[in-house]
Structures are given as structure tokens and as C-alpha cells.
Amino acid sequence: MFSYIIIVSGQVQGIGYRYFVERAAKNIKITGWVKNLDNGNVEILAEGEEKILENFVSTLKTKHPYAIINDIKITKNKINKINYPDFNITF
């Protein structure tokens, strides 16, 4: 199991990107959360199997019709257990 902290920068606020992230995560059984940051970026904490998380990151880069992704930074941590029961938008 892994935990990814993902920072997405670009045009990712005000276009429904958090809802897109939440839906994508729930569809593949990833747990964690997504939130807007004050600097215009979006932060995601995602937990699950590494292969599934890598596919999730690929989806984040390419599948939202209005997002313009400038950069995605990922911090990966190995974890022993899942810490979140589901995936939610936080504020």
C-alpha cells in the first residue's frame, strides 16, 4: 500500500476539478481527499495499491476537459494500512 500526496498546478480551480478527482478516485476504490489550496493549486492525498495510484495520476493529467495541467508533484510513502474509509472533497 502507498500514500501519494499530489500537488496539481495549472488551471485547476473553478472548473470542477475536485469533483472530477473525487469521482475518479471513487471509481477505482482509492481513499483520501482532495482540496483547493490558496495559491491556486489542488492538493490530493490518495491511498491504495501503487499500480492503481499510478493509473489515477495518469487520469489526473489527461482526462478533465477544461483543466490545463502545468505540473504534478508527487510524494510517495509506503504505508501499512489505509487511513481513510473513502475519498472526499475537503475545504
Over the stretch 23-49, which tens digit does the pLDDT of each residue have?
999 999 999 999 999 999 999 999 999
Cell of 69: 495541467
Catalytic residues: 18, 36
70's grid cell: 502545468
What is the pTM (predicted TM-score) of this model? 0.96
pLDDT on residue 25: 98
Q: Above pLDDT 70, what percent of the chain?
A: 100
Residue 42 maps to a domain: yes
Q: Which residues pair with 47 in a beta bridge?
A: 3, 31
State which H helix or E strand residue 18 sits in. Answer: helix 17-27
Q: Which domain holds residue 53?
A: 1-8+16-69
Residue 27: its H or E element: helix 17-27
Residue 80 is assigned to a structural domain of this protein: no
In a domain, 40, yes or no: yes
pLDDT at position 62 over 90: no
What pLDDT, on a 0 to 100 scale, did the predictor assign at position 65? Answer: 92
Question: What total number of domains does the chain contain?
Answer: 1
pLDDT given for residue 63 in this prediction: 86
- Check which CATH number belongs to the domain holding 32 and give it: 3.30.70.100
pLDDT at 71: 96
DSSP H or E run through 32: strand 31-36
